[in-house]
Structure 1
Amino acid sequence: MTADMVAPAWMHSQITAEQYDSWSAEQCAGIEIVDGMVVVTPSASKRHNRLARILANGLDLAAGQDWNADTDFDVRLQDVPLTNRRPDVVVYRADTIDVAPTRPEHVLLIVEVVSPGSETTDRIVKADQYAKAGIAFYWRVEQAVTGVPVVYTYVLDPASGVYRDGDVCTGVIKTSLPFQLEIDLGAL
């Protein structure tokens, strides 16, 4: 093994919330922190990013003045060991726009767009983490081979702390939870 093949030291040990908070935005881009370990996330496709943007825009319009929907920022699920996820879309309380880090109590809904390589993480791992963090709604968007996305919605059961199945929408999301909305995803 040559010197340029050795992974940086931070890839071999857990980092703390304090260490992570001292990093620049550039250092935090393209990674998530799971149980204190840095997990590099690959760049998403243009289709993935467009889908996330359409969803964020539609959710933002439907959410009203109390909620914002946006993309590309961390949600701090826990401090010890540090777990930061960077969901594709987050609906969060508007009055927390300047609060960092964003925490589960600020969040109403998280949307993950499944990509090749993120199937298990988005379908199982993240859904479990978001439920345990108490986030009320989770949507998983599957990019079907037909090109028309399928959206699986989940609602947190507070008694059990797990998500129960909600609506399944193909092409057009039409739902009343967490608020009334209709988003056409067929026009990607």
Structure 2
Amino acid sequence: MTAESVPPAWMHQQITAELYDSLSEEQAQGIEIVDGMVVMVPSASLQHNRLAKKVAVALEAAGAPEWFADLDFDVRLHDVPLTVRRPDIVVYRASAVGAAPMRPEHILLVGEVVSPGSETTDRVFKPEQYAGAGIPFYWRIEQSAAGVPLVHTYLLDLAARTYRVGDVHAGVVEAAAPFPVKIDLTRP
């Protein structure tokens, strides 16, 4: 084992916001922080990234100029214990460009594309954390047995800080909220 393959000591201890903020972009890439502990996030497949990109591009076109959509960047859900997630899709206020760290109050919608190995995290843990942080909409995107993408939409019940189940779209998303959008996920 080479010195380069040994994880740094900070990956084995509880991370504070100050320590996380001191990490380089390269060090922070590929990790999330949950309750202060480092969680490794594997690289996504090309199919996963294409699906996320299609949804993000359509959401940005529908929400602009007030809302932008991007892929895979840090969202600071809590400072203590530190919780930083990297949603696959983030729709955020255009006025928040440059905000560091990006906080839930800047975010309208987060989306996760479920991959092998992320099923429980994307179906249970992340929605619970996003709802607890007050993010109004959550979309979960999965491949059906027939190979057609399914988009499960959720709306925040602010009083309960949980998501209510919305619609399930097969292949083509025609949603009225958070703004009218039509996304055909059946086309390459």
- State how many pairs are aligned: 187
What is the aligned-residue identity percentage?
62
**Distance of 1:151 and 1:180 partners within structure 2:** 15
Note the alpha carbon deviations across 1:31-77, whole angstroms, 9 max, x for none: 10111111110000000000010011000000021100001210000
Q: Which moves more between the two structures, 78-87 or 142-151?
A: 142-151
Matches within 5 A, 1:26-41: 26-41=26-41
TM normalised by structure 1 equals: 0.95
1:109 partner amino acid: L
Structure 2: gaps of 5 or more residues? none
Matches within 5 A, 1:57-72: 57-72=57-72
TM normalised by structure 2 equals: 0.95
Matches within 5 A, 1:5-154: 7-154=7-154
Note the alpha carbon deviations across 1:77-128, whole angstroms, 9 max, x for none: 0001110000000000000001111000000000000000000000000000
**Distance of 1:111 and 1:52 partners within structure 2:** 8
2:68 partner amino acid: N
**RMSD (Å) for aligned C-alpha atoms:** 1.4
**Distance of 1:24 and 1:10 partners within structure 2:** 13
Note the alpha carbon deviations across 1:124-162, whole angstroms, 9 max, x for none: 000000000000000000122322100000000112111
1:128 partner amino acid: E
Partner SS for 1:95: helix
Structure 1: gaps of 5 or more residues? none
2:163 partner amino acid: Y
Partner SS for 2:84: strand
**Distance of 1:28 and 1:163 partners within structure 2:** 29
Partner SS for 1:115: coil
Q: Which moves more between the two structures, 83-92 or 144-153?
A: 144-153
1:32 partner amino acid: E
